[in-house]
Amino acid sequence: MSARADDIPLDPNGFTAYIQQKLQLYSAAPVRVTGPFAVAIGAQSGANLVYDFKPLHDACVAAPAQCADKAHDYVQDTVRRFPSANAGTAPSQSLPSDRDAFMATLAAELAQMLPADKVEVDGMTLNVTRPGGHAIPFDQNGYYKLCGQSNFQCAAPMRQSLVRTAAWLTPLEPARLRVSLHVMASCNIIASVGNTVTCHITPGHEPMAPIFRRAFANLEEICYKQLDDGTTAPATNADRHDLDLDVDGALDRCDAGARDALGPLPATLPAPSADGIGTLSGPYAASHAIFASEWPRVAAANGGHLIVAVPTRDMLLYMNGDSPAQIAALGTRAAALATASPLGISTDVYRWTGDGWSLATDGSTMPTEPVGSTDVLPHVH
């Protein structure tokens, strides 16, 4: 048995405690361990329902790489059944309408989730000071307004927001870093011979601003970290400061994590389908395009003529040749995939230049924001 699965302990006590802690984040009632792979939700003396997750543990042991996703799905499915599990009066959904009391309530909740950090209120801002001494402000004005629109019956969504905030503040772990492609904002596309792209981007200096840099053409690379629940969030300035790294140093570390996870580009790419389009797929597969040193042999095997598209974070399309008809065909496939996926990146096609990629599309079909929904925080320019 592997000792851990993606940082989830697989020993009976550790695994049971892990699931208990995840469920407790969502439950107003106590989540109590009743035995290996079993918890009860509710007070010791009250009516409650026992949940057994031995099958989940068995699945994690059998496929450790899938454990984070399976555990996340189990927790979310259980959460949806909490009212019956608690078997009592539903907890109040009301938060105080008074601003000071509202903020005090949020600060107390967040402090419970971040016991190692210091949480303080400054007007409508929650200031979180990490053990390293970095104070990070979180403005709650927008949340206060939204709560007002629901007559402050907003305890549950506010707790979800605080859970996400606590997850974003999880210290950076190099083993969880990956770099992914992303559409650059503030780009001016110039349609001309050889298509050039002029972009003016500057990573924000705010603690929670994501870190990124230009990749090629109209794409940037942005660093992600995997959270305990299996979802991802962008690595931020607060994270890199903890590691005493500048933006490039942090992104270099993300590059290394992506290369380790992806492995080298296959010596022989998967055979194209009948329309001549081949596919590389899997987590962060589009990031293969970032590592230009791996592509010359592929291009040489095709007479130097090669085009690719990166429609989603987890998919890279390629095609031998670079005729207008082939570019159009690859662009059509990329557009269909990019617009349908929450991990959508780009609808454009990129041509191999000998040492990298240039925009092959006639102009760019990309807007200045990502095609699909994304878990990237807004860029600050």
CA distances from residue 344 to 109, 144, 284, 307 in whole angstroms, order as listed:
34, 31, 12, 19
Place of tokens 């159009």: 328
Amino acid sitting at position 129: T
- Please tell me the number of Cα atoms within 13 Å of 354 on its side-chain side: 0
What are residue 219's DSSP bridge partners? 183, 216
Contact 170, 225 (CB under 8 A): yes
User: What is the number of other CB atoms lying within 10 angstroms of the CB of residue 206?
Assistant: 14
pTM: 0.65
Task: Write down the pLDDT at residue 186.
Answer: 67
pLDDT of res. 105: 95
The region of weakest confidence among 143-152, 185-194, 273-282, 316-325 is 185-194
* Average pLDDT of the chain, as a whole number: 81
Asked whether the beta carbons of 71 and 60 are under 8 A apart, the reply is: yes
pLDDT of residue 366: 64
pLDDT (0 to 100) of residue 317:
97
> What mean pLDDT comes out for the span 223-245?
81
pLDDT classification of 86: cutoffs 50, 70, 90: very low
**Of residues 219 and 206, more confidently modeled:** 219
Question: Three-state secondary structure along the chain?
Answer: CCCEECCEECCHHHHHHHHHHHHHCCCCCCEEEEECCEEEECCCCCCCEEEECHHHHHHHHHCHHHHHHHHHHHHHHHHCCHHHHHCCCCCCCECCCCHHHHHHHHHHHHHHHCCCCEEEEECCEEEEECCCCCEEEEECHHHHHHHHHCCCECHHHHHHHHHHHHHHCCCCCHHHEEEEEEECCCEEEECCCCCEEEECCCCCCCCCCECEEEEECCEEEEEEEECCCCCEEECEHHHHHHCCCCHHHHHHHHHHHHHHHHCCCCCCCCCCCCCCEEEEECCCHHHHHHCHHHCHHHHHCCCCCEEEEEEECCEEEEEECCCHHHHHHHHHHHHHHHHHCCCECCCCCEEECCCCEEECCCCCCCCCCCCCCCCCCCCCC
Residue % of the chain over a pLDDT of 70: 82
For 155-201, write each residue's pLDDT tens digit: 888 888 888 888 888 777 777 788 888 887 666 666 544 566 777 66
Quote the pLDDT of residue 370: 45
Residues contacting 290, CB < 8 A, separation 6+: 179, 181, 215, 216, 221, 255, 258
1 pLDDT band (50/70/90 cuts)? very low
Residue 46 or residue 184, greater confidence: 184
Q: Is the pLDDT of residue 37 over 70?
A: yes
89 or 201: whose pLDDT is higher? 201
Residue-level pLDDT at 6: 59
Per mean pLDDT, which range of 34-38, 49-53, 110-114 is the poorest?
A: 49-53
pLDDT digit string (tens) for 64-74? Answer: 888 888 888 88
How large is the average pLDDT for residues 271-283? 92
